[in-house]
Structure 1
Amino acid sequence: MVTRRAFLKNGGLALFGVGLLGGIPPFIAEAAAREKVFRLYKKNKILVCIFQRGAMDGLMAVTPYADPYLQTARPTLFMTPAKTGNTSPLIDLDGRFGLHPALQAFEPVFRDKRLAIVHGIGSPNNTRSHFDAQDYMESGTPFDKATPSGWLNRAVGLLGHDALTPFAAVSLTSAMPRSLYGDNPAVAIANLQDFTIQMRGNPAAVNLTAKSFEDLYDQTSPGLLKEAGQESFEAMKMLQKTDTKNYKPAGGAQYPNSPLGNALKQIAQLIKMDVGMEIAFTECGGWDTHYGQGTTNGVFARSATDLSQAVMAFWTDLGTYQDEVTVMTMTEFGRTVHQNGTGGTDHGRGSCNFILGNDTAGGIVHGSIKPLTVENLEDGRDLPVTTDFRSVFSEVADRHLRIAGEKVLFPGWSGAVAGVMNV
């Protein structure tokens, strides 16, 4: 007898063999948000993670503008909420912190207490290597490079049930991210529309996909077929037949035409299809601001605008699904307190992240930041990490997805949660 988990794992392998986009099994197609879409699954709680690769400058994203030492350290990068000349000011959040004007799309949900910010967040490992820091954050074991699985893949295994769908964890990326490595079902999709065009233009590939899945389906017991195999196969057929060109975002949402905007639009479509997705992942770059960082214009502002507009278009598009979804950003580390000689900032330590959802403790900048005097800085140069990323990731996953098992999610960690969730 084949177990349900083995069925899904083997089914993923069978489908992997007929993938058409660089070996990735991109067999999920867009769903048009119409009234008569066939619903295979009930609404699930869904965690959407966005990795800001390159190390976002948290001190520019959410600036402790009342700190006089920061102004001295950043003579051409420092910003305030005061209106001066033609420069857009910071958005004053609480009398101490100001939101960068390029992130202004976040202001309404912060005021509405649905967006929480954690400052001084980062890894206890003090590496300033992008590769190592990202690896540690995605594995969830900041002092062990040998961990074979990622923390999001382990979260799939803690959902309290064997997934009845191959779409439990989906990454809208060109390759599987480190955080989804592991034994539990996960798929990576580069681009839904390109895949659909190729599938429709290649009947042999469609037939092979169907045959490989049905062959595995036929090897299972009747009870298992009814519970898992049939639903998964029906989901496959439905996703392959959907129209990829005519999706209309709800609520007048306008996604930026960027990799992040396109990825979040596709995640929204999959959520609305109710195909059983519970974890989604995507990423964005452009945060490695060594030079030309700018203030209201420049590298940082362009990346921040894209992030906030893409996330808020996604949030608007979700409509009634907002109650089911929490969005969490992450970045491997922050930037130096002092600007460098080329108008940028170098690799640092603490940064900040954003958590959007109806069950977050929003409208608050969480975390602890001391005055940015030299004696309070790590190595005399960096914002110290005062909130371990595991305390935030664990709480969001546990409270939103209703899983319990932080010791499995983050082996070797036993710290307190950060208090960013209401329930």
Structure 2
Amino acid sequence: MTSRRGFLKAGGIALFGVGLGGVPSFVAQAAQMIQAPALFKKRKTLVCIFQRGAMDGLMAVNPFTDQYLKAARPTLFMSAAKNATNKPLIDLDGRFGLHPSMAAFESVFKDGSLAIVHGIGSPNSTRSHFDAQDYMESGTPFNKGTASGWLNRAVGLLGHEAATPFQAVSMTSSLPRSFYGDQPSVAISNLQDFAIQLKGNPNGANMASKSFEDLYDQTSSGLLKETGKESFDAVKMLDKIDTKNYKAANNAIYPNTALGNALKQIAQLIKMDVGLEVAFAESGGWDTHFNQGTTNGIFARNVNDLSECIMAFWTDMGTLQDDVTVMTMTEFGRTVKQNGTGGTDHGRASCNFILGNDVNGGKVHGLVKPLAIENLEDGRDLAVTTDFRSVFSEVADKHLKINNDKLLFPDWTGKHIGMMKG
């Protein structure tokens, strides 16, 4: 007999749009056999957004008083002066300025619910996108053989088994490295029409060719008995929701972009109360080697989308904001000096954003020394002064009440930096 836990562990279930027009009939029929479900206990939700491609933290949150940066970026440097030729940076504290295309963040920074950590990165100096993302998502920056992702381990440290397959959800077409591991997790690219199939991982590779229905037929009695009351209830709830015509609360308007659509669907899952505790989304296009731009261009468009999408989600959360924290991450930053094609190359440290009512916000945390060459890593990059694990663990500990850093980040022995309350 396949147990609920064993069945869900078999690969992380992937729910994705395939044009089938709704829940597969055999799942719907199984769900109909169950009595009305009890509401899942309200829990905290952590929403992680991976900015793939390496965001230029020095342009997103600019140390605009640094004359070394001005000299290193003759056409990319931005000013906070009101009489600047271009739209000025948003002065945060007299030293750091927020990119003007991130104006949506200004109000939450000022009210203390948005914190920024600068100089954050990995202790591993690789400048390979693939390797750096892998290390950050596994949470073990010097061990490529780690089978699990840090978010999957976080789910395992929540202190309870999943009462629903929607405990850990990635709004992506495939399961991200962060969710690899023994704990049940799902990847959903579209709530509007979906099917369920087995998503291969090391635990389920030998069954990758079999459909969910095949597995269901083989284990129907045991699966219905052990999984039905929990898993199928959530599927039934999802099938009832008119996701296509979802109306966001508080007049929130989500950008019609990949990230906007992902966060809108995460908001729906949170409001549906299906037991979501860890959510994941992605933002792409941050590898700005060419024509990066300042107030216009690819970088400005990207940071505008990031901030507008997050703020639409935050506005939509309304009275649920106390239960939600949003955290961004990116694999590394960009070079201090611009290159010959108006862009920046792979660097080291960047910055990230943490939004929530349990955040020690209104501050730029971390250490950024003057960008003189003697302070740069390898003579070219913003130095990593905050290990990403110190931030990730603090958010997980304070928001999700996980207090086992040795299991969450096995090789890390550092300290928190105080960007969360309590």
Q: Same fold (TM over 0.5)?
A: yes
CA pair 26-347 structure 1, distance change in 2 beyond 3 A:
farther
Gap change, CA 1:345 and 1:26, over 3 Å in 2? farther
CA drift of 1:4 comes to 5.1
Distance (whole Å) between structure 1 residues aligned to residue 179 and residue 131 of structure 2: 16
CA contact (8 A) 1:173 1:190 kept: yes
Deviations 1:129-156 (A, max 9, x none): 0000000000000001111110000111
CA-CA distance at 1:221 after TM superposition: 10
Shift of 1:192: 1.6
Provide the aligned C-alpha RMSD in A.
Answer: 2.6
Query: In the alignment, residue 236 of structure 2 is paired with which amino acid?
Result: K
CA contact (8 A) 2:37 2:233 kept: no
1:218 aligns with 2:198: no
Aligned pairs for 1:60-209 (under 5 A) are 60-84=59-83, 87-195=86-194
What residue ranges of structure 1 are gaps of 5+ in the alignment? 30-36, 197-207
C-alpha change, 1:316 and 1:352, in structure 2 (3 Å) is: same
- Cα pair 2:72 2:337 within 8 Å, conserved: yes
Cα distance change, pair 153–337 in 1 and its aligned pair in 2 (3 A): same
2 CA distance for matches of 1:258 and 1:19? 18
Q: Distance in 2 between matches of 1:214 and 1:164?
A: 22
1:48-67 matched pairs, under 5 angstroms: 48-67=47-66
Question: Structure 2: which amino acid aligns with 1:282?
Answer: A
Aligned to 1:385: 384
CA distance in 2 between partners of 1:46 and 1:264 (Å):
13
Paired position in structure 1 for 2:270: 271
- Given residue 389 of structure 2, which amino acid in structure 1 is its aligned partner? R
Partners of 1:19 and 1:368 lie apart in 2 by 42
**1:395 maps to which residue?**
394
Match of 1:9 in 2: 9
Is contact 1:4–1:162 with CA below 8 Å preserved after alignment?
no
Percentage identity across paired residues of the two chains: 69
Q: Deviations over 1:97-137 (max 9, x none)?
A: 00000111001000000000000000000000000000000
Distance (Å, rounded) in 2 between the aligned partners of 1:363 and 1:219: 52
- Give the TM-score, by structure 1 length: 0.88
Q: How many residues align?
A: 396
Q: Which residue of 1 aligns with 2:200?
A: none
Residue identity in the other structure for 2:221? D
Measured in 2, the distance between the counterparts of 1:384 and 1:137 equals 17
User: What per-residue deviation string (whole Å, max 9, x for no partner) do you get for residues 317-367 of structure 1?
Assistant: 111111100000000000000011111110000000000000000000000
| Partners of 2:117 and 2:408 in 1: CA distance | 20
The CA distance in 2 between the partners of 1:350 and 1:244, in whole Å, is 39
Tell me if the contact between 1:39 and 1:275 (Cα under 8 Å) persists in the aligned partners. Answer: no
Provide the C-alpha distance between the structure 1 equivalents of 2:216 and 2:354, rounded to a whole number of angstroms. 37
Q: Where does structure 2 lack aligned partners over 5 or more consecutive residues? A: 29-35, 196-210
Aligned equivalent of 2:306: 307
Q: TM (normalized to structure 2)? A: 0.88
CA distance, structure 2, for counterparts of residue 53 and residue 91 of structure 1: 25
1:213: Cα distance to partner?
Answer: 5.6
